[in-house]
Amino acid sequence: MLNIVIFGPPGSGKGTHSVKLAEKKQLYHLSTGDIFRSQIVNKTILGLEAKQYMDKGALVPDDLVIKVLLSTLENQKDAKGFIFDGFPRTIIQAQKLDDELNKKGIPLKLVISLKVNDEEIIKRLVKRGIDSGRTDDNEAVIKQRIDVYNKQTAPLLDYYTRQNKLLCIDGFGEIEDIFANICKIIDENIK
């Protein structure tokens, strides 16, 4: 089973490349952001709770995210593998994910980090907010999300480096070129 984390700051292209990679490698794309946005649209209790955090640019609490993730994993028993998009976002989430996957005998194989500078992130997300109407894609919230990423999520770079699972890719450029680099690095590191 091939389990991969696509990692990077907001607006780095995680979602775009995760969807493409899931299709190419026939993996289940697991996006906690998409799951929570669906819950918000459907006005579930979980969605309304998550929305309070997301609207401020804050991370949804670990226990809430992990509960949703484990439920999704259990419902996809026939998957050939998973692409985790936007998860984990904290060391606690990473440790819990490792524990659960190791218990099942299906550990993470790779963590791919997309590197993009703050200026490009703001430009991309403001445009996405205009195009999609996402309320959390305004400049003030984007800057808060970048700050949260740098404080709470960026430490995962060291966590996965110590496990020899982290591979970094420049996330700036044409989507097809970045995707080709992602596929190449996976093929070179997964035999």
**Active site residue: 89, 96, 124, 165, which one?**
89
**Active site residue: 25, 37, 109, 134, which one?**
134
**Active site residue: 14, 20, 96, 165, which one?**
14
Catalytic (active site) residue 162: no
**Active site residue: 109, 145, 151, 162, which one?**
145
CA atoms within 13 A on the CB side of 35: 20
Catalytic (active site) residue 37: no
Catalytic (active site) residue 128: yes
Catalytic (active site) residue 124: no
Q: To 10 degrees, the CA torsion angle through 180, 181, 185, 188?
A: 60
**Active site residue: 25, 37, 109, 128, which one?**
128
Residue 11: Cβ within 10 Å count: 25
Report, as residue numbers or ranges, the catalytic residues: 14, 89, 128, 134, 145
